Amino acid sequence: MNDIEKKMLEHGFTGKDLRIFRHYLQKDSLLTHLVLLHELRKRFLVMLMMSFIVLLFCLFQQAHDGDDSWLPCLLTFAIYACIAWFMTPMGLAFKAFRFLKKYA
């Protein structure tokens, strides 16, 4: 276990998270912990921005069409949230974002 992994364990990452990191590091020999952390941070920020845009769209639609459009808006946001959650490991991405914010 190297210094970065020790710091990661001290600041919220679990053993399972580190196993996931090691798995991706073994698949691609050019990756390092910092590259993977930065990639997860980028994914987190993009998904956060996209979620905000979809939420704004839903709120605009609600305001424009009135009370009849709340169900389609809610379904749209729920479907998007499910897709975003599976495309980006949000828990791990948030931990990477928080870790890099503190140490980068």
In contact, 12 and 95? CB cutoff 8 Å: yes
For residue 93, give every residue at least 6 positions away whose Cβ sits within 8 Å of its Cβ, in sequence order, or none: 40, 41, 43, 44, 47
Q: Is the full-model pTM beyond 0.85?
A: no
The Cα 59–Cα 62 span in angstroms is 5
* Interval 44-102: pLDDT, tens: 999 999 889 988 888 888 888 777 777 888 888 889 888 888 887 888 999 999 999 98
Q: Which of 73, 70, 71 is nearest to 55 (CA)?
A: 73
Establish how many alpha carbons lie within 13 A of residue 46's alpha carbon, considering only the half-sphere containing its beta carbon.
11
Query: What is the structure's pLDDT at 103?
Result: 80
Phi/psi at 30 (5° precision): -85, -15
Q: Which amino acid is at 32?
A: T
Query: What is the structure's pLDDT at 37?
Result: 92
Establish how many alpha carbons lie within 13 A of residue 34's alpha carbon, considering only the half-sphere containing its beta carbon.
5
- CA 103 remoteness from chain centre: 18
